């Protein structure tokens, strides 16, 4: 089952790459995504029941935390693959595009290559979430970088090339630092007897954590945090994130923001787990809190007055990654809140990015100042965009309100309750800044030069609608099995 989760996207991708027809690929993508989602649901079920599957000598052995992120990646991929049907059809229809930024002409990458790399991207993310071996995790996180770089460069123009290059270099170098972290981890545990054939490195580290050399362990965590933090978009190494998210096709941005950032977070969480087991949880928590606040503040600075709505969404991702780091750092109820937050953020952000793709296709501009009257020109997207904004800004009745409240509660219960003040203040600033931009886009008159049509393809609004409904439901009522699953995941990282 676990191997199938990897092989399915890889084989599909290879087939697409070598003998795919564009139309066939477009259909095969959602089918594969559906199969993948069902499989990962099965895995999640068996992990929930307590008999976690293992495969490949233990290289694949998911735990609740990993499965949670696996489910998220899988679900988002399903939504994106449905959205891709209309998106790719539209792209094919236009043929020769014009770059919005410098008005240069460009063509797209061959479509089968795009869909194939989407599949590889999914496969590498699945591997990240399923393995307990830190080395394999490193290799697969690097693989996510490499498989997603061609996706960002789908539109072959200068700006996307620039974004791709930044993404490649910053993430590769960051991840190289994480490799150094892994090596330091091995140094810290050097001398402990290790089974030659046992790949379950994580449980080995966790069970021997008290014998590890503290200095090396701390150094290892710093490098893991900085390395994977660059990939996750924690400030100050977040520079690639707004560029890549704004230049990538919207469905890729949705996957990057909703699924990939979580995968990088998982790498940090593994380090945090080991630090907790070694009794050094205070240090790693403090670092997480620091970077969390730093990211939150950075995001607040850049979102205020941000005219580029896709960049705005990207900075909002930086903000929410900061929130996650913060919640995990404070531990306890905040940690549960953070895990819940990760789920809700992924769903909401995916929805918003998909909608931004619709807006971009209709208005042909990145600037939120030039967009008026979305409620007249594209009623569905406009309504969902507004709802999505309320969700992402953390207002009731959406799931993010609950999770942010839980994090606030955790902060108040911690040793430094006064930190709740900057936390709430920053959230308020972000709320105002986001609402200004979003409401400006939705309200107002229909621009005169816009075509009269209000038709929107079903596959371009259905996935965001379903994602939005899911966040709404999570805000009103969390099913008990889901909540116990989340708490199980949170328990692993001190929740």
Partner 1 sequence: MLFDSCLFLLLVSNFLLLATPHIRQMTKYTALQGILLALLLLLFGHTILTVAVLLIKGILLPGLLWHTQKRLPPDSLICPRKLAAFDVVCGMAGLAFAIWLDDRLIVTQELFPPLFLSLGLTTLFCGFILIIGRIKAITHVIGYLVAENGIFLLGMPLMTKGTTWFELALLLDVFVAVFVMGIAINRISDSFASIDVARFRSLRD
Site string for partner 1, 200-219 (x = CB under 8 A): -------------x-x----
- The residue among 173 and 432 lying less far from partner 1, judged by its C-beta, is 173
Q: Does 249 bind partner 1 (CB under 8 A)?
A: no
Across 18-131, where does the E strand assignment appear?
97-98, 105-106
Contact 79, 466 (CB under 8 A): yes
Q: Does 163 bind partner 1 (CB under 8 A)?
A: yes
For residue 309, which of 440, 471, 432 has the smallest C-alpha distance? Answer: 440
For residue 329, which of 415, 427, 241, 424 has the smallest C-alpha distance? Answer: 415
Contact 167, 240 (CB under 8 A): yes
Among 15, 35, 180, 283, binds partner 1 (CB under 8 A): 180
Least separation in angstroms between residue 201's CB and partner 1 is 10
Q: Does 48 bind partner 1 (CB under 8 A)?
A: no
- What is the CB-side half-sphere exposure of residue 300 using CA atoms within 13 A? 19
* Stretch touching partner 1 by CB under 8 A, among 4-12, 164-172, 264-272, 397-405: 164-172
Least separation in angstroms between residue 136's CB and partner 1 is 7
Q: Does 187 bind partner 1 (CB under 8 A)?
A: yes
**Subset of 292-311 contacting partner 1 (CB under 8 A):** 302, 306, 311
* Stretch touching partner 1 by CB under 8 A, among 26-34, 63-71, 167-175, 284-292: 167-175
For residue 247, which of 370, 307, 163 has the smallest C-alpha distance? Answer: 163
Q: How many CB atoms lie within 10 A of CB 35?
A: 17
Phi first, then psi, for residue 270 (nearest 5°) are -60, -45
Q: Does 158 bind partner 1 (CB under 8 A)?
A: yes
Residue 163 structure tokens: 């974004």
> How many residues in the shown chain lie near partner 1 by CB under 8 A?
48
Q: Does 14 bind partner 1 (CB under 8 A)?
A: no
Contact 31, 83 (CB under 8 A): no
Least separation in angstroms between residue 22's CB and partner 1 is 22
- The residue among 127 and 492 lying less far from partner 1, judged by its C-beta, is 127
- The residue among 234 and 335 lying less far from partner 1, judged by its C-beta, is 234
- The residue among 106 and 376 lying less far from partner 1, judged by its C-beta, is 106
Q: Does 155 bind partner 1 (CB under 8 A)?
A: no
Q: Does 176 bind partner 1 (CB under 8 A)?
A: yes
Phi first, then psi, for residue 490 (nearest 5°) are -70, -30
Q: Does 165 bind partner 1 (CB under 8 A)?
A: yes
Q: Does 157 bind partner 1 (CB under 8 A)?
A: yes
- The residue among 146 and 472 lying less far from partner 1, judged by its C-beta, is 146
Q: Does 365 bind partner 1 (CB under 8 A)?
A: no
**Subset of 117-146 contacting partner 1 (CB under 8 A):** 133, 135-136, 138-139, 142-143, 145-146
> DSSP for 165-219?
HHHHHHHHHHHHHHHHHHHHHHHHTTTS---TT---HHHHHHHTGGGS-HHHHHH
Tell me, letter by letter, the H, E, C secondary structure of 101-158: CCCCEECECCHHHHHHHHHHHHHHHHHHHHCCCHHHHHHHHHHHHHHHHHHHCCECCH
Contact 186, 224 (CB under 8 A): no
Q: How many CB atoms lie within 10 A of CB 103?
A: 8
Least separation in angstroms between residue 76's CB and partner 1 is 24
Site string for partner 1, 311-330 (x = CB under 8 A): x-------------------
Q: Does 397 bind partner 1 (CB under 8 A)?
A: no
Which residues, 6+ apart, have CB-to-CB distance to 361 below 8 Å?
90
What distances in angstroms separate CA 160 from CA 265, 294, 316, one per listed residue? 25, 27, 20
Q: Does 229 bind partner 1 (CB under 8 A)?
A: no
Least separation in angstroms between residue 337's CB and partner 1 is 30
- The residue among 87 and 315 lying less far from partner 1, judged by its C-beta, is 315
Interface residues with partner 1 (CB under 8 A)? 101-102, 133, 135-136, 138-139, 142-143, 145-146, 149-150, 153, 156-159, 161-166, 168-169, 172-173, 176, 179-180, 183, 186-187, 190-191, 194, 196-197, 213, 215, 242-243, 246-247, 302, 306, 311
């Amino acid at each position: 089952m676990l191997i199938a989760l990897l092989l399915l996207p890889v084989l599909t991708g290879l087939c697409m790459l070598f003998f795919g027809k564009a139309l066939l690929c477009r259909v095969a993508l959602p089918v594969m995504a559906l199969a993948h989602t069902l499989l990962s649901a099965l895995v999640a079920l068996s992990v929930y029941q307590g008999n976690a599957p293992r495969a490949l000598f233990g290289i694949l052995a998911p735990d609740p935390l990993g499965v949670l992120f696996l489910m998220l990646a899988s679900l988002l991929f399903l939504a994106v693959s449905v959205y891709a049907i209309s998106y790719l059809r539209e792209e094919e229809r236009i043929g020769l595009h014009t770059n919005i930024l410098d008005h240069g002409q460009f063509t797209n990458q061959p479509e089968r290559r795009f869909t194939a790399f989407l599949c590889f991207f999914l496969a590498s993310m699945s591997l990240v979430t399923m393995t307990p071996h830190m080395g394999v995790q490193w290799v697969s996180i690097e693989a996510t970088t490499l498989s997603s770089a061609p996706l960002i460069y789908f539109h072959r123009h200068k700006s996307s090339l620039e974004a791709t290059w930044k993404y490649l270099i910053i993430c590769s170098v960051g991840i190289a630092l994480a490799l150094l972290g892994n090596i330091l981890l091995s140094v810290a545990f050097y001398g402990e007897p290790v089974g030659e054939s046992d790949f379950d490195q994580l449980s080995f580290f966790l069970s021997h954590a008290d014998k590890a050399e503290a200095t090396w362990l701390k150094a290892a965590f710093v490098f893991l945090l900085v390395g994977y933090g660059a990939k996750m978009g924690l400030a100050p190494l977040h520079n690639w994130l707004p560029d890549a998210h704004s230049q990538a096709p919207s469905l890729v941005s949705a996957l990057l923001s909703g699924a990939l950032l979580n995968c990088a977070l998982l790498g940090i969480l593994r380090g945090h787990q080991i630090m907790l087991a070694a009794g050094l949880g205070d240090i790693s928590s403090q670092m997480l809190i620091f970077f969390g606040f730093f990211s939150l503040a950075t995001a607040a600075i850049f979102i205020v007055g941000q005219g580029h709505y896709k960049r705005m969404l990207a900075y909002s991702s930086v903000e929410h990654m900061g929130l996650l780091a913060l919640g995990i750092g404070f531990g306890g109820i905040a940690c549960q809140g953070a895990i819940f937050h990760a789920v809700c953020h992924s769903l909401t952000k995916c929805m918003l990015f998909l909608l931004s793709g619709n807006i971009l296709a209709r208005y042909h501009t990145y600037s939120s100042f030039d967009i008026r009257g979305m409620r007249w020109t594209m009623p569905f997207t406009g309504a969902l965009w507004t709802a999505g904004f309320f969700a992402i800004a953390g207002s009731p009745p959406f799931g993010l309100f609950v999770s942010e409240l839980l994090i606030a509660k955790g902060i108040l219960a911690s040793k430094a309750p006064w930190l709740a003040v900057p936390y709430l203040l920053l959230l308020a600033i972000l709320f105002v800044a986001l609402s200004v931009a979003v409401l400006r886009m939705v309200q107002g008159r229909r621009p005169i030069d816009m075509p009269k049509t209000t038709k929107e393809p079903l596959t371009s609004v259905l996935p965001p609608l379903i994602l939005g409904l899911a966040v709404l439901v999570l805000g009103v009522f969390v099913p008990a099995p889901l909540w116990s699953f989340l708490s199980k995941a949170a328990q692993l990282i001190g929740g």
